[in-house]
Structure 1
Amino acid sequence: MKDFFAEAAVLLSYPQNLVRLLVRLVLAYGFAKPALMKINNLKETVQWFESISIPFPLLSAYLVSGIELMGIVFLILGLYTRMVSVLLACVMLGAILFVHLQYGFSVADNGFEIPLYYFIFLIFLASYGAGKYSLDRVIFKDGTDE
């Protein structure tokens, strides 16, 4: 039985780099619409941030919009994945605390369920890197031991 589990572990490790690529692409897609809405309506974003008591709303709007926009590009390319994942995870923590927490967990009630999932996947990428199919591997040799 021990051999069976060892063989299963090896077999299940083969698609890990495809999973990392898929996680990066899905996260980038998920950030696209909110990031573009913030960028295209920056004045309204600042007003909204101010209305929900986000500190330094003008600076925060620029930072969040910039991090999300750059994050999309870097996640797709698999470039600086660990660093950008940490920054995006911080954005997700802010979204949970300032926007979604008051509504509970359920996504149906605008709760923090989806930002929490994004946060978990971003921490996964920050911990394990972008994988084999990334510029991180090509440029920085991050992930060559896998």
Structure 2
Amino acid sequence: MPVYDSALDFGLLLLRVVLGLTMAAHGYNKFFGGGRIPGTAGWFDSIGMKPGVFHARMAATTEIAAGLGLAFGLLTPIPAAGFVALMLVAAWTVHRANGFFIVKEGWEYNLVLATGALTLAATGAGRYSLDYLLFGDCEMASLLHGWCGLAIAAGLGLLGGIGQLVIFFRPPAK
């Protein structure tokens, strides 16, 4: 394998692992950190995502599953869609009013995580992934990257995030 190919595959591995474990850590923290699910549920209720307990459990579970799925490169467009949905909901409910920059609690970080995941859906997970181990270069592999992977991740992610906002988000009265 040419040096460029192995460096590219290593770069994809590095990006997947950093993004994935970062997201999984957020989910783990919701389950086992300071306020755990009850504290997270109260916060979700306070921002208008009701019922809070349901959203706390769903967010934590999705963050762990999407994070580990991306880190391992397993059906990459699916966990990437999870990132898009999670980050869309977080950006809209929590960070939108604060502007762009993260230093003012804006939506910059949400954009970076979602874009990184979409990029991996477009490029594919690389040779150091479960996608490559399971599917290699077969026909199924073509659904896991390129325009198809990007469309799956963006479409499912937007559908999931917008659907969740439409069905559940009720901004608190100011």
TM-score range, shorter chain: 0.7 to 0.9
- Give 2:80's aligned residue: 85
Please name the residue that 2:172 is paired with.
none
CA drift at 1:60: 1.9
Which 4+ stretches in 1 moved above 4 angstroms? 11-14
Aligned to 2:7: 15
Mind listing any 5+ residue stretches in structure 1 that lack a counterpart? Answer: 1-10
In 1, Cα distance between equivalents of 2:40 and 2:122: 31
| Offset, 1:109 | 0.7
1:28-59 Cα offsets, whole Å, 9 max, x none, are 23224322221120011111111001243222
Equivalent residue number for residue 37 of structure 1:
29
Q: Equivalent pairs: percent with the same residue? A: 28
3-state secondary structure, aligned to 2:126: coil
Distance in 2, Cα, partners of 1:131 & 1:13: 9
Q: Does 2:118 match 1:123? A: yes
1:12 Cα deviation after fit: 6.4
Amino acid of the structure 1 residue aligned with 2:104: D
Backbone CA RMSD of aligned residues: 2.2
> Which residue matches 2:19?
27
Deviates more, 1:65-74 or 1:114-123: 65-74
Q: Return the TM-score normalized by structure 1.
A: 0.81
2:47 corresponds to 1:52: yes
Structure 1 SS opposite 2:66 = helix
| TM-score (ref. length: structure 2) | 0.69
Alpha-carbon distance between aligned partners in 2 of 1:137 and 1:16, rounded to the nearest angstrom: 14
Provide, for residues 82-128 of structure 1, a one-character-per-residue CA deviation record: whole Å limited to 9, x for no partner. Answer: 11111121101111001111111111111111111001001112222
**2:111, 2:59 → 1: CA distance?**
17
Q: What per-residue deviation string (whole Å, max 9, x for no partner) do you get for residues 61-93 of structure 1?
A: 211111111122222221122111111211011
| Distance in 1 (alpha carbons) for counterparts of 2:70 and 2:5 | 22
Structure of higher CA gyration radius: 1
> What is the letter of the counterpart of residue 133 of structure 1?
Y
* Alpha-carbon distance in 2 for matches of 1:57, 1:96: 17
Q: Residue 69 of structure 2: SS of its match in structure 1?
A: helix
Between 85-94 and 69-78, the greater mean CA deviation after superposition: 69-78
CA contact (8 A) 1:50 1:57 kept: yes
CA distance in 2, matches of 1:126, 1:63: 22
* 8 Å Cα contact 1:82/1:130 also seen in 2: no
